Copies of this chain bind each other. A is one copy, B any other.
């Protein structure tokens, strides 16, 4: 299930994020303003702007997969220099491509692995704690904030744009 959450589901959510960024681009075109205004927007002066929200969502997915599979050395490095819609979309697409280099097998030992990251100064979480209490809530926090910033600025999106399609099956 860890693989299902971190690879297929995060891939789906990042695809939904690409689609709402396209909606933001179209909205800016229609209203004849620079989409950069939206990319620099935030809901509070001490909050990360939209570009940074996307960058952190991307890093949460990338480093979540890398740390849970103990392959952090192989993860692509991003310098957070994106400034345009095309650049931030490329960042997301790169992370989706990276996520999809993993298979379910790579996560076989993930739940019990001890996981740390630089700002934790040596302290650790189990892989399951890291996934459930850190990766998942962080990833959805930042993807939702992108949605919130765009919606607050008038982009015509709703929760279905965030959730995406469900793999429904007809009742038997």
**Residues of A near any B CB (own CB < 8 A):** 1-2, 4-5, 9, 12-13, 43-44, 46-47, 111, 114, 116, 120, 122-125, 128-129, 132-134, 136-138, 140-141, 144-145, 147-148, 151-152, 154, 158-159, 162-164, 166-172
Contact = CB atoms under 8 A, between A and B. Distances in A.
A140 B60 CA distance: 15
A136 B12 CA distance: 14
Protomer copies: 2
Given A123-B170, A169-B125, A44 B151 contact: yes
Contact of A170 (B122, B141, B154, B164): B122
B162 A137 contact: yes
Contacts of A138: 159, 163
